[in-house]
Structure 1
Amino acid sequence: MPPAYRNPVGTLLGVLFGCLMLLSVGQVHANPRYAAIVVDAESGDVLHAANADATRYPASLTKMMTLYLLFEALEDGGLTLDQPLPVSAYAASKPASKLYLKAGSTIPVEKAIEALVIKSANDVAVTVAEALGGSEEHFASMMTRKAHELGMSDTVFRNPHGLPDARQVTTARDMATLALRVMKDFPQHYHYFSRTRFHWNGKTITGHNRLLDDYPGADGLKTGFIRASGFNVATSAVRDDRRILTVVMGGFTAASRDAHTADLLDRGYLRLAMQQRGDWVAQADLFGDRMALPEPMPATQPTRQLASAEADPSWSQALAAREASSMLTEPDTEMGSADDPIRALLARNDATSSGGAWAVQVGAFSDADQARSLAARAAGHLASVLQDVRVAVAEAQDTPRLFRARLVDLQEGDARTACRSLRQQGMDCMVVAHN
């Protein structure tokens, strides 16, 4: 039975509490490997992006492209699900994670699919590459060509598995594009990505993707890890018939990566719910201020100091222990200081006014102080346009712990003039009737 419905506010508060505890014991460290993107799968709208176009290592997210080409071969009739694929000595020599296939043996196509999705088996990835491309090198060229056909212009593949190669690079946006195309182009095969175990040679093989069990509605796709990339994951989830896709790259640990992914999904569904009600949220309000992972430094050139992918548990646990102290978040820098001159406007929040029944909404936040800060900044921008602008922050009755930031008691014409002025100064807004 799936876990109970996740409360977005409770999740956020838990993340914030954990971050505060960590901040109290060490210096904040930025994470140069971090990138993320959140996409509404139905519309293709990007709900959130952080470093989404920065160069990153895909690690075993690579295998989504290996599977894409394998699914193409199945649909073209070049392969069948029960067709045996021969295992070469080169494929058998690949390091873990692997099925430990023997040179000269075979593996059926369907078992190869399961092994790639669930076990992230590198020996199986090469077996597929040799079956479809003749060699790993030629198959990697096929992968890159297909990536560019799909619009993944910033991606280059050099192997079918994601093991370390400094020339194999991608972006979070490109990985999201690939995940969406896998789902849309091969819906008949997408069910493989929801599986968490399969049987091979009398054994039950379990997978790495804990989100499939831990996040309600999650039904795929793929995890990945090498030391240079950090912990990556592409995740798709469905709630109330709406599908959201997330890609998170650069987690310090698998656990922190998964927690951050769950948080992004929660925030994405909150945004969609507000949009469906005709409400409105500024682009960064629900995502950008407090993240479960550190705020990133500017993207750096990928290092050639690479380590093995999907490493054995003892190695990855050692890495996690060494890096766990860096799993911190940057403090909020948007709140302003005590002597901020526009803070005087906040004292007027409960003042009465004989103005109009219209308002300018500049955002909606999960934190009331953030809502007040943005509303006060907006009022400051309008000082030369409107006199005595009143700031109001109210909790939405239909969405607890969601605070709307508004400038209120305006005549309709003044409200529209004010919103135009704010947009000219680069601030999003909308005109609403205000009770």
Structure 2
Amino acid sequence: MRQALSGIVSKSAWSFRTLATVTMAVSFVLAAASASQAARDAAIVIDANTGKTLYASNANARRYPASLTKMMTLYLTFEALAKGKITKSTQVRFSANAAAEPPTKLGVRKGSSVSVETAILSMVTKSANDSSTALAELLGGSESNFAQMMTAKARSLGMNGTVFRNANGLPNPGQFTTARDMAMLGIALREHYPQYYGYFSQRSFMYGRQRINGHNRLLGRIKGVDGIKTGYTRMSGFNLVSSVAVDGRRMVAVVMGGSSGASRDNQMAKLITAYLPKASRRGGGDLIAKADNDSPVQALAKVMLPKHDAPTPDIRPQAQEVVVASAAPALIEAPTPKKPVKVVAAEPAAIPFEQAYAEPEPAHVDPVNTASLPSGWVVQIASSPSKSEAEAVLDKTSRQARAVLADASGFTMPFSKGGVTYFRARFSGFDNQTAAQKACKALKKKRIECFAIEQ
């Protein structure tokens, strides 16, 4: 009997320990999941008549946009339509790159085409990734060029916390935004292109014999909701931008990082119910300055290029040059400045556009003995918050200008600004100022911006 009781007690103790261990493990998992979810949550509600923020939670925190990205792709599409560069019936050809995009997608085969309007409808309803890429290639010549145009347009609209790397929102660690920026874009779409804004209220459309239904479940469910866009990736969670207009009151709300589509929609519904009555019926004029009088390249220049002239080479510059990615897409206008553009920016050093808004590396000064760095006259071509990117620019420039830089050596030079470490990309090996200036002049003939400096 004593042995039996001992066995029962032993088994009970084992069971208790096992249960406690399992319970603790589950608690850790739930806590980690909760922390991860909290790190993605963000929301904002803005009165679209006055611009007043009615509610905000992590509104300026960096978040992944997912398919909210397509709002900017559509903004630039609407801009091209308004300027007559394309029409709704213009054919959008699907390259191998566009056709290969993962779902959700329209499923157009490589080499086939659809109209601009069909591409728009597929994006606002099905959130078609392939249509987004195809439109990007039509408007920008390549998706990478179009992403530059998107970021430039974001800056011109005041969206300073946003960087685009692609046209559809598929996962990319370098592509990010904020809830506030997405609200600004939502307002800009309605204010600047009311003639096309109705597309966002489209709940379905016919593609051949197939009816394609939309993802925005609040259309028709909540009074006054007339768009705009849903989004989801594992990195971002469930995102939603909604525009509401009832009895003269207008507002735009953003929810990001939802744990499910249903919870995201319910949170949005609660925000609309709570804050729409607080919105004003009186407007104060346009809230987002319209910036579509410039061509995409001119907008890019305004973002990247400062207003002052470049210093002469015999003066030690307190600035760095910019290497702007060359672009010759089909529908991009060439800028026509009255004076030659001087590509110089104040510290922190300006950097190649494709790297300009790359996520900064940890603020850590490279352990380089400054005395061991090359001295004398050098040629600087760029700077970047990423050492590897600065080195990549050096390598690319070396290959583009082998003859000019045959006797030069590339190196990076770290400096800290605002708590962030940047890396200047420079070439050394020039005997004097004249030699450095001559090399820089030759580089500029190859469309590689630079300046000579004595270090």
TM-score by length of 2: 0.54
* Corresponding position of 2:190: 183
**Which residue among 35, 59, 79 is the counterpart of 1:52?**
59
Residues 238-263 of structure 1: CA distance to partner in whole angstroms, max 9, x if unpaired? 12221111000000000000000010
Question: Could you tell me which amino acid in structure 2 is paired with residue 70 of structure 1?
Answer: T
Give 1:164 shift.
0.3
Check the 8 A contact 2:165/2:174 in 1, yes or no.
Answer: yes
What corresponds to 1:23 in structure 2? none
Aligned counterparts of 2:124 and 2:278: Cα–Cα separation in 1: 30
Task: Work out whether residues 253 and 268 of structure 2, in 8 Å CA contact, stay in contact via their aligned partners in 1.
Answer: yes
Residue 409 of structure 1 corresponds to which residue in structure 2?
none
Q: 1:267 aligns with which of 260, 267, 274?
A: 274
SS class of match (1:107): strand
Query: Partner of 1:110 in structure 2?
Result: 117
Distance 1:272 1:145 in 2: 31
Q: SS at the partner of 1:211?
A: coil
Alignment partners' CA distance in 2, 1:271 and 1:32 = 28
Alignment check: 8 A CA contact 2:40 2:256 kept: yes
Deviation of the 1:271 alpha carbon: 2.4
The one-letter amino acid paired with 1:79 is I
Distance 1:122 1:197 in 2: 17
1:42 matched residue in structure 2: 49
Q: State the Cα distance separating 1:179 from its structure 2 match.
A: 0.6
Deviation at 1:213, TM superposition (A): 2.2
RMSD value, Cα: 1.9
Partner of 2:239: 232
Name the CA distance, whole Å, in 2 between partners of 1:71 and 1:185.
9
Give the match for residue 93 of structure 2. Answer: 86
Asked if 1:152 corresponds to 2:159, the answer is yes
Aligned mates of 1:120, 1:223 — CA distance in 2:
8
AA of the residue aligned to 1:55: R
Tell me, in whole angstroms, the C-alpha distance in 1 between the residues paired with 2:82 and 2:254. Answer: 27
- 4+ residue runs over 4 A deviation: none
Equivalent residue for 1:168? 175
Q: Which residue of structure 1 lines up, in the alignment, with residue 222 of structure 2?
A: 215
Check whether the contact 2:89–2:116 (CA below 8 A) recurs between aligned residues: yes
Q: Is the 8 A contact 2:45 2:55 kept in 1?
A: yes
Q: Give the corresponding residue for 1:29.
A: 34
Total equivalences in the alignment:
253
Task: Among all aligned residue pairs of Structure 1 and Structure 2, give the percentage whose two residues are the same amino acid.
Answer: 51
- Distance in 2, matches of 1:214 and 1:33, equals 26
CA distance in 2 between counterparts of 1:43 and 1:196 reads 29
CA displacement at 1:269 relative to structure 2: 1.8
- 1:32 is displaced (CA, Å) by 1.0
Q: Which whole-Å CA distance do the structure 2 matches of 1:145 and 1:164 have between them?
A: 20
Aligned partners of 1:267, 1:72: CA distance in 2, in Å?
34
- How far apart are the structure 2 equivalents of 1:272 and 1:235? 15
Match of 2:68 in 1: 61
Structure 2 equivalent of residue 139 of structure 1? 146
Match of residue 207 from structure 2: 200
Matches within 5 A, 1:254-403: 254-272=261-279
Looking at structure 2, the residues matched to 270 and 75 of structure 1 have their Cα atoms a distance apart, in angstroms, of: 34
Distance 1:29 1:158 in 2: 29
Q: 2:102 aligns with which of 86, 95, 98?
A: 95
Give SS of 1:60's match. Answer: helix
Following superposition, the deviation at residue 29 of structure 1 comes to 2.7
Distance in 1, Cα, partners of 2:137 & 2:165: 14
**What one-letter code is carried by the residue in structure 2 that aligns with 1:178?**
L
Deviation of the 1:272 alpha carbon:
3.3
SS of residue in 1 equivalent to 2:256: strand
Mapped partners of 2:193, 2:43: distance in 1: 24
The CA deviation string for residues 160-182 of structure 1, in whole angstroms up to 9 with x for no partner, is: 00000000000000000111000
Distance 2:224 2:182 in 1: 21
**Whole-angstrom CA distance in 1 between matches of 2:40 and 2:227:** 23
Which amino acid is 2:63 matched to? R
Q: Distance in 1 between matches of 2:77 and 2:277?
A: 36
Residue 137 of structure 2 is matched in structure 1 by: 130
- Tell me, in whole angstroms, the C-alpha distance in 1 between the residues paired with 2:274 and 2:221: 17
Aligned to 1:422: none
Q: Following the alignment from structure 2 to structure 1, what is the Cα–Cα distance between the partners of residues 162 and 269?
A: 26
Aligned to 2:126: 119
Distance in structure 2 (CA, Å) of the matches to 1:256 and 1:214: 15
SS of structure 1 residue aligned to 2:279:
helix
SS of residue matched to 2:39: coil
Which one has more relative contact order, counting CA pairs under 8 Å at least 6 apart?
1
CA distance in 1, matches of 2:128, 2:227: 17
Task: Name the TM-score, length of structure 1 as normaliser.
Answer: 0.56
Q: Which runs of 5+ in 2 are unaligned?
A: 1-29, 283-358, 361-455
